[in-house]
Amino acid sequence: MIPDPLFDFTGKVVLVTGGSRGLGYCMVKAFAERGADVIVASRKLDACEAVAGEVRGLGRRALAVAAHVGKWDQCDMLIERGYGEFGQIDVMINNAGMSPACPSHEMSENLFDSVMNLNFKGPFRLASQIGQRMSQGDGGVIINISSTGALMAMPGVVPYGAAKAALNAMTISLSREYAPKVRVNTISAGPFLTDIAESWDPARRKKQPVALGRPGAPGEIVTAALMLASPASSYTTGALLRVDGGQR
């Protein structure tokens, strides 16, 4: 089968944080199926290795790295492992995150810091360090996975929404800082049936207050990521693409 030239990532290396499950897993598989070698990062090595094994089964190279990307030393370790193995990173997807529900007046400082670190502090470190390397080399693409929680009222997850709003602002600034060789864009994800949805009540898993009336299947994030990563999107940077079923 001849790959579609618009979505042919042969010879490219893609790093996906939170790549062992949910949206990250779907993106890992999508890029590998289209020729990319992949770096799979998450906290649990066994989960990363399982996904890396699937990638190798597709005939692609894969590197599994256990890393807590809310910590800068582990971000730096992940970067060095990736460049050490492949010599390049062409597409970097900041996907790892968490959104624990907690009344704002009850949130501890430790939980606040954990949410901010994983959703913004770590992604900033990864994007800035990899973006700099890309800008000094052959260029590349950074995609930040954000949330509609940054764009609408979300009681009970205020630090999460604030961190994702910071991620959105970071996208715009870094798209100028590392231009013209590096493109930086945001995917703003709505309600998806990932593992976090397992705690939702059955009605919420079937219906959502969005234009399409339902939550998204994890695979429905794939085309947005492929489009933004594609060289065919060479005039798209600093953009926020909503993949949320028409949420308002």
**Under 8 Å between Cβ of 80 and 56:** no
Q: How far is CA 167 from CA 26, 66, 205, 218, in A?
A: 21, 23, 27, 21
In a domain, 168, yes or no: yes
In a domain, 55, yes or no: yes
pLDDT at 66 over 80: yes
In a domain, 115, yes or no: no
Asked which of 38-47, 84-93, 96-105 is least confident by mean pLDDT, the reply is 96-105
Q: How confident is the model at residue 191 (pLDDT cuts 50, 70, 90)?
A: confident
Those residues with Cβ within 8 angstroms of residue 44's Cβ, 6 or more apart along the chain or in another chain: 20, 66
The CATH number of whichever domain residue 224 belongs to comes to 3.40.50.720
Helix 22-33 / helix 222-229 crossing angle, nearest 10 deg: 50
Count of structural domains within the chain: 1
**Residue 199 phi, psi (nearest 5):** -90, -5
For residue 225, what are the domain limits? 5-109+139-243
**Tens digits of per-residue pLDDT, 139-189?**
999 999 999 989 988 888 999 999 999 999 999 999 999 999 999 999 999
**Tens digits of per-residue pLDDT, 196-239?**
656 667 767 778 889 999 999 888 999 999 999 999 999 999 99
In a domain, 187, yes or no: yes
Task: Give me the long-range contacts of 233-236 (CB less than 8 A, separation at least 24).
Answer: 233/183, 234/183, 236/183, 236/185
d(CA 196, CA 188): 17
In a domain, 203, yes or no: yes
Q: Which residue has the higher pLDDT, 241 or 218?
A: 241
Maximum alpha-carbon separation in the chain: 56
In a domain, 87, yes or no: yes
- Of 158, 219, 164, nearest to 193 by C-alpha is 219
Please state, rounded to an integer, the average pLDDT across all residues of the chain.
93
In a domain, 196, yes or no: yes
- In the prediction, which pLDDT does 98 show? 87
In a domain, 178, yes or no: yes
Q: Count H helices, E strands: the chain?
A: 8, 7
Identified catalytic residue from 83, 160, 178, 235 = 160
Tokens of 210: 């969005």
Amino acid at 14: V
Those residues with Cβ within 8 angstroms of residue 159's Cβ, 6 or more apart along the chain or in another chain: 107, 111, 112, 115, 116
Strand order in the sheet with 62-66: 62-66, 37-42, 13-17, 91-94, 140-147, 182-189, 240-243
Those residues with Cβ within 8 angstroms of residue 182's Cβ, 6 or more apart along the chain or in another chain: 131, 134, 135, 139, 140, 141, 142, 174, 175
d(CA 140, CA 49): 25
Q: Which residue has the higher pLDDT, 81 or 201?
A: 81
Asked which of 5-14, 71-80, 211-220 is least confident by mean pLDDT, the reply is 211-220
Q: Is 160 a catalytic residue?
A: yes
